[in-house]
Amino acid sequence: MDTVVVDMHYGSDLMQCPTDIQRGVVRDAVRAGADVVVGQHAHALLGAGYRGTAYVSYGLGNFEFYSAGGLSAQTGVLTLTVDGRKVTRPTWTPGTISSGLPIPLTGSAAAEAVDSWRSLRECAGLSPEPSSR
């Protein structure tokens, strides 16, 4: 079976919770058969997790960007392990943007950044584990 990945450019600048429009687009994409939905545009990280069996990341933030710090300097790499049509192991590797380039975080700073990223799942209405559609 093919894995269906939808990549969206949407959202509102610096808002870390998805808008009603984003939620509707994700709902429709998952109903239409998307296994993974990822987005970017808001210049900030948004929640990620499962909507049913589909994996959703509402916003990956910036990767390379001239930022003075704050939300727009939070970055990272989302790695998804996919088995057929199922995401089995999502991993977030956090970083920060310095002089326009991403720098990986390590140690306690990385652990704090992962916890912060996971907490964004709550306002996104996503689950840490897959469930039936």
- Written as one letter, the residue type at 56 is V
Q: Are 29 and 37 in contact (CB under 8 A)?
A: yes
pLDDT tens digits for the chain (133 residues)? Answer: 789 999 999 999 999 999 999 999 999 999 999 999 999 989 999 999 999 999 999 999 988 888 778 889 999 999 999 998 999 999 999 999 999 999 999 999 999 999 999 999 999 999 999 997 5
pLDDT at residue 33 in the model: 96
Cβ atoms within 10 A of the Cβ of 107, count? 7
- Written as one letter, the residue type at 29 is A
pLDDT at residue 133 in the model: 52
pLDDT at residue 69 in the model: 83
pLDDT at residue 67 in the model: 77
> Hey, is 25 helix, strand or coil?
helix
Give residue for tokens 């239409």: 32
Strands (E), 10-68: 36-40, 48-51, 54-57
pLDDT at residue 115 in the model: 97
- Written as one letter, the residue type at 11 is G
Sheet containing strand 36-40, edge to edge, reads 5-9, 36-40, 54-57, 48-51
Q: Is the four-CA dihedral 131, 56, 90, 112 of positive or negative sign?
A: negative
